Amino acid sequence: MQAQTQSHHYLDGLNDAQRSAVEAIDGPVLVLAGAGTGKTRVLTTRLAHILDSNAAFPGQILAVTFTNKAAQEMKDRVSSMLGGLPVEGWWLGTFHALNARMLRRHADLVGLSSNFSIIDPDDQIRLLKQLMEAAGIDVKKWPAKGASSIIERWKDQALTPDQISAADAGEFADGRILDIYKTYQKRLREINACDFGDLILHMITIFKDAAHNDVLAEYHRQFRYIMVDEYQDTNVAQYLWLRLLAQGSANICCVGDDDQSIYGWRGAEVGNILKFEKDFQGAKIVRLEQNYRSTGHILAAASSVINHNENRLGKTLWSDGGDGEKLVVKGLWDGDSEARWIGEKIEELQHKGQILNQIAILVRAGFQMRSFEERLIALGINYRVIGGPRFYERAEIRDALAYLRVTTQPNDDLAFERIINLPKRGIGKATIEMLYAHARGAGISLFQAVCDLCETDELRPKVKETLAQLTALFISWRDQIPVMPHNELCALILEESGYNAMLKADKAPEAAGRLENLKEMVAGMEEYDSLEAFLEHVALVLENREKGNASDAVTLITLHGAKGLEYDNVFLPGWEEGLFPSQRAMDETGLKGLEEERRLAYVGITRARKRAFISFVANRQMYGSWVNAIPSRFVAELPDDAVLSESDMGFAERRSSHWDSSASGYSSNNAGANSGFGGNIYARRRSAHNSHPTQRGLAAARKSTAPAYTRGQRVVHRSFGEGEIIYIDGQKLDILFDDGQTKRVMASFIESID
């Protein structure tokens, strides 16, 4: 009775639906927890209730979360509810953590020792590269990162190598990716290691092996209750693992929201939650619909949009906190106008007493951030980027900037070193050290050192040829600065350097976004009078960047990254067909992709507590060309009575559009608008510059000093040995070495023989 008495205090304050979810501890239960409905409270209270009711001990409950932070928070809350109950021995953690714990106990059943290593993604890629090179696969054409992504996807689908047919494997690595997967798994066992995907895959293999059915039976006896958070985000492997464990007890409770399933691109399968009732006969469905976060108008807008999805279990969010302010839907002329408008609105909110910490700009794609970052900087408004670096601090942008810096200023050693082997050109550490040694000895730049050594025999022939081609490219680009628009020149550099091709060959999910960021940078360069002016602007932006300790700052974040967060004021820009919903998502997965995009819109709207601002433009600069933008179909799906429409020009009535499955998104008023950076600018080739860089007058710009050597002098070279100087050309010396070979070398690489 004491336990029953204690149980009442943590049940206090729960609404009827929440209490029903907490107290339904027997049998399968699906808790459909809408945004802002107190999901975390229900989950932790339910766990506390099971323990406090003596229905199970901590070690008899399997509680699964998606992040370590969520797991720790759940432990702390439950412990606090129960008066400081110790958390040791609890089976509470992430999928990977729990499976690692299990696998340590049964590693021998899959050919591992209990002290196996768990390799991180970098080690995974490095190992795959080794195996692919050993198999004679061209890793430049078929990057190891791409192989890693394919193998990761197979493991997310719980597919071992013997479960994949050659026909289903695809053409990656000339059709040999399945062989690489087999070799990779074999090698992992040899070094007593596994990757993150293996943690779940190995346990599924053990559970399904009839020879080891005692293992699964053991866990069936142990776990009386299973609880799962964010069930809508589970992939196939996680789903199968849970299903196998749940066969022992029907007491499984999954908490999630099918309307917030937005991670299909990384393997999440919304179908897992949609078929819960089919998987678990007699399941109890509890809908948490009372929202404690947002106003009535915000919830009405979110519900109106998501109701257009066909594949959903259905629920309607409501609030007793009043309707609040209507959503503002703003039509603007172009992206710059959109950034200015949002900047003005933020200033207005500030003047009304709103703190910046409660203001967020949620974008569909990372490249959208540039215009907002620059506007906030111009207004002197602090901001932070969550989930990644600021626009000009992103690796691909810094790489592009390094190419531009070397083009304008060949003496910029830091920039040149950054990209000399990017993309990979076979320039090793030893070569870099040799270049720097000569540069320091001669008092010249790294670029000049490369030009010098390309006229000697110091470098290996292949490296010499590669570096000569690279310096020739930089000289040709430099020649174009006075005659070619600087944005077109940047596009040309990214193409001819091979940087674009490197990203296009990258099969990682983020590669496409990195290309989009580069295209956005190229487009934004039009705002500046010259390449030098653009580079100066970027330098000032980086100099004035927030140091990370600002107590009050606007948040810039992608819609995917915003899930689970909330703000008083939310801006949702770029609601245009092709951008949002993403044309790429719809092209790749059709209706499934469209519905996930709509769920993303639902997530975006429900991040707002008090105010939401949605904007779209009539003209958007995409990939270096202006395109006519069409308002997103999601705009037309907003309810009239919850929306205040504004427009700066004569937009057609926003609900006049009739969407169908053939909607194509952006329409271009420029031929070749989507053919890359700036249409067909690559077709406009200038006169060829095939001569060697040192034959194009670079010598005049070099710092040259007379060598302290004379003809006939005996010297020793660090690589070629001893010899006699037979000709002197400035710092370049022709030496007849004792082995009979004559080579041209730099004076900085020899020493006299006394």
Q: Render the burial of 554-575: b for 16+ CB within 10 Å, e for the rest.
A: bbbbbbbbbbeebbebbbbbbb
Interatomic CA distance for residues 349 and 610, integer angstroms: 12
* Torsion, Cα of 394, 400, 401, 407 (10° steps): 170
* Annotated catalytic residue 39: yes
Phi–psi pair at 536, nearest 5 degrees = -65, -40
Answer for the pair 493, 403: CB distance below 8 angstroms, yes or no. Answer: yes
Q: Is the omega angle on the peptide bond into residue 581 within 30 degrees of 0, that is, cis? A: yes
3-state DSSP assignment of residue 657: coil
Catalytic residue from among 40, 60, 72, 183: 40
Give the tokens for residue 175: 């059709």
Strands 554-558 and 383-385: parallel
DSSP result, 440-478: HHHT--HHHHHHHHTTSSSS-HHHHHHHHHHHHHHHHHH
* Annotated catalytic residue 18: no
Give the tokens for residue 425: 């050109």
Give the tokens for residue 621: 């600069």
Strands (E), 266-307: 284-288
* Annotated catalytic residue 260: yes
Angle between helices 531-543 and 369-379 (to 10 degrees): 70
Interatomic CA distance for residues 684 and 661, integer angstroms: 37
Catalytic residue from among 230, 258, 488, 576: 230
* Annotated catalytic residue 72: no
Answer for the pair 638, 297: CB distance below 8 angstroms, yes or no. Answer: no
Interatomic CA distance for residues 675 and 457, integer angstroms: 42
* Annotated catalytic residue 607: yes
The Cα-based distances of 379 to 374, 581, 682, 687 in angstroms read: 9, 30, 37, 44
* Torsion, Cα of 722, 727, 731, 732 (10° steps): -70
Interatomic CA distance for residues 525 and 642, integer angstroms: 39
Interatomic CA distance for residues 168 and 165, integer angstroms: 5
Q: Is the omega angle on the peptide bond into residue 693 within 30 degrees of 0, that is, cis? A: no
CB under 8 Å to 214, separation ≥6 — which residues? none
Q: Render the burial of 740-753: b for 16+ CB within 10 Å, e for the rest.
A: eeebebbbbbbeee
Catalytic residue from among 260, 358, 407, 621: 260
Strands 721-729 and 732-737: antiparallel
Answer for the pair 342, 62: CB distance below 8 angstroms, yes or no. Answer: no
From 260, 125, 268, 104, select the one nearest 192 (Cα to Cα): 104
Q: Read off the amino acid at residue 278.
A: K
* Annotated catalytic residue 185: no
The Cα-based distances of 744 to 249, 435, 533 in angstroms read: 80, 16, 41
Catalytic residue from among 52, 152, 195, 229: 229
The Cα-based distances of 289 to 65, 254, 306, 606 in angstroms read: 22, 16, 14, 13
Taking the CA of residue 710 as centre, how many other CA atoms within 13 Å lie in the half-sphere pointing to its CB? 2
Give the tokens for residue 334: 């172009």
Strands (E), 367-523: 383-385
Catalytic residues: 39-40, 229-230, 260, 607
